[in-house]
Amino acid sequence: MNRTHDLGKLIKLTGDRAKIDAKANDTYIVYKTKDGVFVKEYSNGEVVRMNERDLHHE
User: Could you read off the pLDDT tens digit of each residue along the chain, which spans 58 residues?
Assistant: 689 999 999 999 999 999 999 999 999 999 999 999 999 999 888 999 998 777 676 5
Question: Which pTM does this prediction carry?
Answer: 0.72
Q: Count how many domains the chain has.
A: 1
CA-CA distance, 32 to 11, in Å (whole number)? 13
Residue span of the structural domain in which 25 resides: 3-55
Taken in order 38, 46, 41, 56, the sign of the CA dihedral is: positive
| Tally of CB atoms within 10 A around 19 | 14
- CB half-sphere exposure, 43, CA atoms < 13 A: 10
